Amino acid sequence: MKLAETEIPDVKLISPVRFGDERGWFEETYRQDILAAAGIRDVFVQDNVSFSISRGTIRGLHFQAPPSAQAKLVRVLVGSALDVAVDLRLSSPTYGRHVTVEIDAKSGRMVYIPSGFAHGFCTLEPNTLLTYKVSAPYDGKRDRGLAWNDPALGIEWPVSASDAILSAKDRNAPELAKLESPFE
């Protein structure tokens, strides 16, 4: 595995090494020792899978408040997506800034997002399948959202607001200025 920093150093881009032959390829998708050596020491306790039928499906921006805050390790198994992480840590010099990374099944690249960030993605192809590990189980009482299209965030989504496919929850999430971040 190869790890690289993004514009926000705590968010990491992880590229697995693939070993191929005439049958196809093999790769390691999770190595606790390699991630720990790079400073990622989260214990992942739940795996999630998200399937989106249509291109332009946006899921997010989501996070869980402490003590159920989640770090995430996200990858695409089929298709491709634009993955987004927004820093919600009030004491961070990058508070309110975001990172976008395109991830796809072809490259196998993954994104590590620490707790303290809102996370979301937009599918770039139909029938996109994502999987992600999280460091805390789902907690509906602490489940929160941030407006995906908040102009203050300046996220360049690959779909217009009128064409985006969203849940009611995501359509009604608050903008950053109205959000009381639970992260110090």
Domains of the chain: 2-178 (2.60.120.10)
Q: 119-136, pLDDT tens digit by residue?
A: 999 999 999 999 999 999
Distance CA(131)–CA(168), nearest Å, equals: 22
Q: Is 62 in the active site?
A: yes
Mean pLDDT of the chain: 97
Question: Considering just the CA atoms, what is the radius of gyration of the chain in Å?
Answer: 16
**Catalytic residue selected from 98, 112, 119, 132:** 132
> Which pLDDT score is estimated for 14?
96
Q: Is 132 in the active site?
A: yes
> Which pLDDT score is estimated for 137?
98
Region of 165 (left: φ > 0; alpha: ψ -120 to 50; beta: rest) is: beta
Q: 85-98, pLDDT tens digit by residue?
A: 999 999 999 999 99
**Catalytic residue selected from 62, 98, 112, 119:** 62
The residue-averaged pLDDT of 51-58 equals: 98
pTM: 0.95
Residue/partner pairs of 159-162 with CB below 8 Å, 24 or more apart: 159/55, 159/56, 159/58, 159/122
